Chains A and B, each alone.
Chain A
Amino acid sequence: MVKKMGYLLNWVFFLGSTMLVCLILGTILVDIFSKGMSSVSWSFISKFPSDGMTEGGILPAIIGTLMLTLITTLFSVPFGVACAVYLNEYAKPSALTNVIRASIRNLAGIPSIIYGLFGLALFVQSLNLGTSVLSAGLTLGLLSLPYIITTTEEALKRIPNSMREATLALGATQFETVKDVVLPKALPGILTGVILSMSRAAGETAPILFTGVAFYINDITTSPSQEFMALPYHLYMLSTQHQSIEQVRPLAYGTATVLISLVFILNIIAFYIRFKHRSQD
């Protein structure tokens, strides 16, 4: 009898924990979407903010986030893929390779705010890029690097060695093997990682705080040397720093809805690519 009670208790703990995790996600989504959907309309995503941020839309923040994510990706993907290729295709097991791998793992663990400080010191001040969407994008690019390297390397590992050997036996150089056989074959896996890292970059706030984000700009960011607005920062400012916080709460909910939708769309695309690729194998 006591034993039976114990089993029941175990069930409660295990199933209860899992249900609680689902409940947390449910609460987050229901609260944000139920209160945010009414603020989201075509004019909300296509207009500039007006009347001291209490009216209007979030167009510049959407454009800013898209530009920021684009710069981040353009910088981190070639670099990250090259590094993953080196580790998986070229590097032999050695102390040096271990140091590189350990660096990458530790880079992944550095708090994002410290990347922000580094970006401030390196891009904004030393390289004189100023507070701009370029500085912020490069900072986020560094932050995304470890993630891109890890996911790309996993994709490369799934390519069977026999394919490399066949290409090399036909007389291709190692670079040609990588360029014409390994990378094309690993593309879906790499793409999944890239899209997921874009979704993370789009939601990051701390690294862009001192590297170029602005509360308000009166024009759309068009050049990489301009400051920019971003969705996550906009949400932060509307919910903590605005002088009439209660009045702009619907706008904050609307911004949160747009931001989470953007991130989820990217995740669904990544999920779809992975799913399609897996079913082909």
Chain B
Amino acid sequence: MSIKRREQADIIFRKIFQATGFITIALLAGIFIMLLYNSIAFFVEVKPIDFFTGSQWDPGSMKGDYSIAPLLVSTGLVTLGAMLITVPLGIFTAAFLSEIAHPKLKSILKPIIEMLAAIPSVAIGFLGIVLVGPWIADIFGIQNGLNAINGSILLAVMALPTIITISEDAINAVPLSHREASMALGASKWETIFKVTIPASMPGLIAAVMLGLGRVLGETMTVLMATGNAAKMPSGFLDSVRTITATIAIEMGEVPYQTTHYFALFAIAVILFLITLSINLLGEYFSNRLRRFHA
């Protein structure tokens, strides 16, 4: 090949590579615009104030009730339960892996956590039906174990690998000299962990929690299968709930194209998109702080 042809190829491929970079921006923008465009069609027909303040999601009713409130409360309830379980469990496990476990033990535990991450969400949802549901029904003496607490337990399991992995990286990133200084001042191993290492890695731990939170909020199949899917305002963890994701999954398959109901599903999706986006940005802010802190 002549030098000229080689240089031409170089320029052409540089452009191709660069284009793929731009397409990722276009993709993010495209997703947002698509959601927004379809939800505007919805807000033309339903007043935003009814959408946010109403208390009923019942598109099949005579006048058609489209209120995101019960779905949002359901999502919040399931997410709260999941985070209450997964955050302490995940951070304790990460601290154990990073600070206490022998390297050999660690080399066994890390693949276990990766295996947990690999299990498809639909399989976890299936276990919610056949395993966790009956347990809950037994323990609380209720008829049906498909409710918010079931969803919370399953989502906690799904968020664990994310939280453990990122927390462990954050704890590992704390310089050894911090720990040595603390020990040299006479602090015990535990005092060092609780008063030096964990506080020093706090921005990273918050970033881990945020990423776990984003995962929990956006998860569809597990909650669709295990929470009972009653689209009404829940009053507690033992109520059957229906999250935003599950509502989209159930109704999008059945709704006629370009009806109010169809656009309504895009409207709840745009709210979900904005919530997860802000949580991701918040997580990014905290992980940048960690990086600056250790730089």
Question: A10, A109, A145, A173: which contacts B9 (Cβ < 8 A)?
Answer: A173
Cβ contacts under 8 Å, A186 to chain B: none
Interface centre among B20, B24, B30 (most CB of A within 10 A): B24
| Contact A113–B248 (Cβ < 8 Å) | yes
Interface positions, chain A 109-159, Cβ under 8 Å from B, are 109-118, 120-122, 125, 142, 145, 149
A7-B89 CB under 8 A given contacts A206-B245, A209-B249: no
A85-B34 CB under 8 A given contacts A15-B96, A111-B217: no
Taking CB as reference atom, which chain B residue is nearest A263?
Answer: B118
| Contact B124–A103 (Cβ < 8 Å) | no
A110-B31 CB under 8 A given contacts A17-B89, A235-B123: yes
A85-B122 CB under 8 A given contacts A118-B34, A173-B7: no
A111-B28 CB under 8 A given contacts A21-B116, A236-B122: no
| Contact A28–B119 (Cβ < 8 Å) | yes
Bound Cα distance from A110 to B219, whole angstroms:
10
Bound Cα distance from A253 to B279, whole angstroms:
36
Residue A226 lies at the interface, judged by CB distance under 8 Å to chain B? no
Stretch at the interface among B40-48, B65-73, B177-185, B269-277: B269-277
Question: Beta-carbon contacts of B119-147 to A below 8 Å, as 1s and 0s?
Answer: 11111111101110000000000000000
Question: Beta-carbon contacts of A243-281 to B below 8 Å, as 1s and 0s?
Answer: 000000100110010011001100100010000000000
Residue B200 lies at the interface, judged by CB distance under 8 Å to chain A? no
| Contact B24–A107 (Cβ < 8 Å) | yes
| Contact A117–B35 (Cβ < 8 Å) | yes
Cβ contacts under 8 Å, A16 to chain B: 92
| Contact B24–A17 (Cβ < 8 Å) | no
Question: B10, B24, B114, B118: which contacts A145 (Cβ < 8 A)?
Answer: B24
Interface residues of A, dominant DSSP: helix
Taking CB as reference atom, which chain B residue is nearest A149?
Answer: B24
Interface centre among A16, A79, A203 (most CB of B within 10 A): A203
With both chains docked as a complex, state the minimum distance between the C-beta of A210 and any C-beta of chain B, in angstroms.
5
Bound Cα distance from A239 to B130, whole angstroms:
9
The bracket for how many chain B residues form the interface is 35 or more
| Contact A18–B21 (Cβ < 8 Å) | no
With both chains docked as a complex, state the minimum distance between the C-beta of B280 and any C-beta of chain A, in angstroms.
4
Residue B115 lies at the interface, judged by CB distance under 8 Å to chain A? yes
Taking CB as reference atom, which chain B residue is nearest A89?
Answer: B17
Question: Beta-carbon contacts of A192-222 to B below 8 Å, as 1s and 0s?
Answer: 0000000110111110011000000000000
| Contact B118–A264 (Cβ < 8 Å) | yes
With both chains docked as a complex, state the minimum distance between the C-beta of B219 and any C-beta of chain A, in angstroms.
7
A176-B122 CB under 8 A given contacts A100-B24, A107-B27, A121-B34: no
| Contact A203–B120 (Cβ < 8 Å) | yes
Residue B266 lies at the interface, judged by CB distance under 8 Å to chain A? yes
Taking CB as reference atom, which chain A residue is nearest B92?
Answer: A17
A249-B130 CB under 8 A given contacts A7-B190, A117-B266: yes
A176-B10 CB under 8 A given contacts A24-B157, A31-B131, A110-B31: yes
23 A-B Cβ contacts within 8 A?
Answer: A7-B188, A25-B116, A83-B24, A102-B284, A103-B24, A103-B25, A107-B27, A107-B28, A109-B279, A111-B276, A113-B248, A117-B34, A117-B269, A122-B30, A199-B118, A205-B120, A206-B249, A232-B120, A232-B122, A235-B122, A236-B125, A236-B224, A240-B224
List residues of chain B with CB under 8 Å of any chain A CB.
Answer: 6-7, 9-10, 13-14, 16-18, 20-25, 27-28, 30-31, 34-35, 38, 88-90, 92-93, 95-97, 100-101, 109, 111-116, 118-127, 129-131, 157, 160, 164, 188, 190, 211, 214, 217-221, 224-225, 245, 248-249, 252-253, 257, 265-266, 269, 272-273, 276-277, 279-281, 284
Q: A32-B127, A100-B25 are in contact. List 8 more A-B contacts (CB 8 A).
A: A17-B93, A90-B14, A109-B276, A115-B31, A118-B31, A176-B6, A204-B121, A263-B119
